[in-house]
Amino acid sequence: MMRDKSYAAVMGRKNEIMKKAVGIDYSVFESGGISFDYERMMADAGYTLEEIQRIQAEVHVGNTPLIELKNLTALARKLAPEGKGARIFIKDEACNPSGSFKARRAATAVYHAKKNGYKGVIAATSGNYGAAVASQAAMQGLKCIVVQECYDSKMTGQPEILEKQRACEALGAEVVQLSVGPELFYTFLCLLEETGYFNASLYTPFGISGVETLGYELIAQFREKTGKDPDKVIVTHAGGGNVTGTARGIIKANAKNTEVIGASVDLSGLHMASDTDFNRKSFTTGHTGFGIPFATWPDRADVPRNAARPLRYMDRYVLVKQGEVFYITESLAVLEGLERGPAGNTSLTAAFALAQEMDETETIVVQETEYTGAGKHPLPQLSFARANNIEIKFGDPDEEIPGKNIILPRHPSMIKARDFDLNKARTSYIKNCVNACNATKINQEDLRFLIEDTKSNEDFVSQVLKELNIEVLRKTGGKT
Ligand SMILES: Cc1ncc(COP(=O)(O)O)c(C=O)c1O
């Protein structure tokens, strides 16, 4: 029987299509209100750390080196006050088969798809995840389709996005190339329904638990090198899986005092779904255009409950500017002999600034690098930006206006990590939860969930709820 392919009909079948394509019945974790049983979802639907280590080892994912950046540390110390300048390390995730930590996520998703008899996998992504899924599908013998927003309406593509499109195709995937707009999700649903392939979503428990090995390995390697736990681990943040998986791995390694910091490129003012802004950004991930919406409303994802919940794990969130990241990308190459891509260098930029606030005896680990290539280098990015009338100059990065200019720091001492107020993000998240459920009252279970999901405390959540005129019922079991 031919199914109705109209937009409304396909959207109407969304839950049914997703259930088949992910194989998880999310309703069993639901409470009927704001809360859901996150840990049970991760345990029941995901894999144990030991299972994932075995799955990933078989496909050459993980066990990437941890490298001390002695020359960048020396530069940071030159700029820092006497006695300051923490040792900076990076975990070289570019050594994964597809060149980024996304291989960890893809390895478990593709393994799960194969185990459950799916013939192929589909991923909707413009990022490294497409290449990661393509690489894992090639290794594990499944078909792969990547649905990618590649172009603006004039069919012009951003160099980094085209780079990733080439990578997916080179790895044997079929790439469905779309221009920016709402048809992505519709096309994705149609393809899932037509092919019966697995939805290798970025946000399932399989994907996120795949990243736990990163945090776990990082701590084990760091202990072996230094005999201690790192003081800070800094994680480039976009959709939240990187922060979530890494932090969960750190917790599983029992590193109790390591601070987890998220870092994003500040692209405030640019709109992600806008055709005109699409090509005005020089960074395609690890930026605030994903980082803030996903932190404040993770369940916007393509699955009913997102396993990536960054506010649950972030101790601090800092922003850097595009020009600063280009500068550090070049510094990493010329000072350390490591040419790496933009996303990992986002947290490295922040680490370079934060190290200068920390004591010499302290340590900070940048938990990933990513590969670089023809479309990811600063040069094609800056040339493309200039062709889009974005001014490029040396100066004070604080004056950078996303989409208007890119300011390379006149001196490395001008590189900063700017704190984003996490309480602001937590407040928005609580508001979004309440609105999504149309709640006027919440029960104790929901209250506990909100405290955990925002890594805050009862006083903070109660105060936000009071400002929203939401009553908290005293006993568990009350209706929302
Ligand atoms: C190399 C790299 N680093 C970091 C990120 C951010 O990860 P997440 O979206 O899980 O926050 C991405 C995501 O696109 C990425 O490809």
Q: How far apart are the first and last CA of the chain?
A: 41
Q: What's the token pair of residue 95?
A: 């050594």
83's tokens: 């006695």
Instruction: Give the C-alpha separation, 165 to 56, whole Å.
Output: 24
- Give the pLDDT band (50/70/90) at residue 476: low
Residue 244 has pLDDT above 60, yes or no: yes
Cα(42)–Cα(22) distance, integer angstroms: 14
* Residue 405 Cα to chain centre, angstroms: 25
Q: Is 242 in the pocket of ligand 1 (CB under 6 A)?
A: yes
- Ligand 1 site, residue 201, Cβ cutoff 6 A: no
Q: Which atom of ligand 1 is nearest to the CA of 285?
A: 14
pLDDT band (50, 70, 90) for residue 272: confident
Ligand 1 contact via 370 beta carbon (within 6 Å): yes
> Over the stretch 83-129, which tens digit does the pLDDT of each residue have?
999 999 999 999 999 999 999 999 999 999 999 999 999 999 888 99
- pLDDT of res. 45: 80
pLDDT recorded at residue 415: 98
Nearest to 176 by CA among 151, 207, 146: 146
Nearest to 420 by CA among 296, 273, 250: 296
Ligand 1 atom closest to residue 239's alpha carbon, by position in its atom list: 9
Examine the pLDDT at 26 and tell me if it is beyond 60. yes
Give pLDDT, residue 256. 96
Ligand 1 contact, 102 CB (< 6 A):
yes
The mean of the pLDDT values for the chain is: 95
Q: DSSP of 217-270, one letter per residue?
A: HHHHHHHHHHSS--SEEEEE-SSSHHHHHHHHHHHHTT-TT-EEEEEEE--TT-
Number of residues in the chain: 480
Reported as half-sphere exposure (CB side, CA atoms, 13 A), residue 275 has a value of: 9
Minimal-distance CA residue to ligand 1 atom 3: 343
Interatomic CA distance for residues 240 and 249, integer angstroms = 14
Q: Looking at residue 480, what is its pLDDT?
A: 45
Please determine, for residue 409, whether its predicted confidence score (pLDDT) is greater than 90. yes
At 1, is the pLDDT very low, low, confident or very high (cuts 50, 70, 90)? low
SS3 439: coil
Q: How far does the centroid of ligand 1 lie from the alpha carbon of residue 438, in Å?
A: 32
For residue 475, the CA-to-ligand 1 centroid distance in Å is 40
The mean pLDDT value for 13-40 works out to: 93
Ligand 1 atom closest to the Cα of residue 240 is 11
pLDDT category at 340 given cuts 50, 70, 90 is very high
Q: Return the HEC string of 1-21.
A: CCCCCCHHHHHHCHHHHHHHH
236 in contact with ligand 1, CB cutoff 6 A = yes
Q: What percentage of the chain exceeds 70 in pLDDT?
A: 99
The alpha carbon of 238 and the centre of ligand 1 are apart by a number of angstroms equal to: 6
Dihedral (CA of 33, 38, 41, 43) sign: negative
Q: What pLDDT is attached to residue 180?
A: 83
pTM (predicted TM-score)? 0.96
Region 276-299: what's the mean pLDDT?
Answer: 94
Average pLDDT over residues 139-167: 93
Point out the ligand 1 atom lying closest to the alpha carbon of residue 242. 10
The residue contributing the CA closest to ligand 1 atom 9 is 239
- Would you state the pLDDT for residue 126? 81
Separation of alpha carbons 392 and 378, rounded Å: 12
Distance from C-alpha of 99 to C-alpha of 142, rounded to nearest angstrom: 20
Sign of the CA dihedral with 202 first, then 276, 162, and 159 last: negative
pLDDT at 479 over 70: no
Amino acid 302: pLDDT:
86
Whole-number Å distance, alpha carbon 131 to ligand 1 midpoint, is: 13
Q: Identity (one letter) of the amino acid at 334?
A: V
pLDDT at 27 over 50: yes
CB of 212 shorter than 6 A to ligand 1: no
Is the per-residue pLDDT at 345 higher than 50?
A: yes
